[in-house]
């Protein structure tokens, strides 16, 4: 129940970031709805396809798709307001990321998969929406450069699995994971924490 509310918050915030990307590419309303929906529910869709977990969430519950399309369209009118309250959106986006991560972990757990695959499932759920957004909008995928983002999804999933392994009840594990993940991500944003990156300047070595 808590997770459902957080999921709706998450897809709404993600849909709005998707719509802003579409706006920077001067897309039409259909493009806005497509990019908004791909950003918000693309991660869960890729996860379910990879795991063979049918029917997809939004096919069984079309109302989620309606929410993301609507959030995208509203953003076309509210863009300047969204940009002004940037800080709020980073917070909502972070809550969404952790919620997506926990949901991804649970889906893989329920399919009886190995813990490492549960963590990959969390990662895909949290990260691939933004990756799809950047592919469609032809931006360099931000998620591959930014402060801790994918790592937060991965760590949150690991923490959740450890808590369950210690027989902590699911609601408590969910709340502890949410709070810890939120603090980790917001600290990463504030202090500019990021993974080391790999720079290679040589031209075309293998091709």
The answer to whether 50 touches 103, Cβ cutoff 8 Å, is no
Given 8, 9, 109, 141, the residue binding a second copy (CB under 8 A)? 141
**Residue 15 is a binding residue for a second copy (CB under 8 A):** no
Applying CB under 8 A, among 4, 30, 165, 171 the residue interacting with a second copy is 30
Q: For residue 19, what is the enclosing H or E element?
A: helix 2-24
Q: Which residues are CB-neighbours of 162 under 8 A, at least 6 positions away?
A: none
Which spans in 52-85 are helix H? 57-60, 62-84
Site for a second copy in 95-134 (CB under 8 A): 113-114, 116-117, 120, 131
State yes or no: residue 190 binds a second copy (CB under 8 A): no
ω before 199 within 30° of 0 (cis)?
A: no
Query: Considering the rule CB under 8 A, would residue 192 count as an interface residue with a second copy?
Result: no
- What does the radius of gyration of the chain's CA atoms come to, in whole angstroms? 17
Segment 162-181, which members bind a second copy (CB under 8 A)? none
CA distance 124 to 43: 6
Q: Is 150 in the site for a second copy (CB under 8 A)?
A: yes
Residue whose CB is less far from a second copy, 65 or 98: 65
d(CA 157, CA 163): 10
Q: How many CB atoms lie within 10 A of CB 5?
A: 11
183 binds a second copy (CB under 8 A): no
Binding site residues, a second copy, CB under 8 A: 17, 19-20, 22-32, 34-35, 45, 49-52, 54-56, 59, 62, 65-66, 76, 79-80, 82-83, 86, 89-90, 93, 113-114, 116-117, 120, 131, 135-136, 138, 140-146, 150-151, 194-202, 205-207
């Amino acid at each position: 129940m808590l997770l459902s509310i957080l999921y709706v918050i998450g897809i709404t915030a993600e849909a709005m970031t998707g719509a802003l990307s579409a706006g920077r590419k001067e897309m039409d309303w259909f493009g806005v709805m497509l990019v908004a929906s791909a950003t918000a529910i693309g991660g869960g869709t890729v996860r379910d396809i990879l795991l063979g977990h049918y029917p997809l969430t939004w096919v069984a519950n079309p109302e989620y798709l309606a929410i993301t399309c609507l959030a995208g369209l509203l953003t076309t009118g509210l863009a300047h307001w969204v940009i002004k309250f940037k800080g709020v959106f980073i917070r909502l986006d972070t809550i969404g990321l952790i919620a997506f991560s926990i949901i991804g972990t649970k889906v893989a757990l329920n399919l009886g998969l190995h813990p490492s695959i549960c963590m990959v499932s969390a990662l895909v759920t949290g990260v691939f929406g933004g990756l799809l957004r950047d592919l469609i909008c032809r931006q360099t995928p931000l998620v591959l450069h930014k402060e801790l983002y994918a790592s937060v999804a991965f760590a949150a999933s690991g923490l959740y699995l450890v808590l369950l392994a210690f027989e902590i009840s699911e609601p408590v594990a969910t709340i502890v994971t949410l709070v810890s993940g939120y603090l980790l991500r917001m600290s990463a944003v504030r202090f500019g924490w990021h993974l080391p990156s790999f720079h290679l300047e040589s031209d075309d070595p293998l091709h």
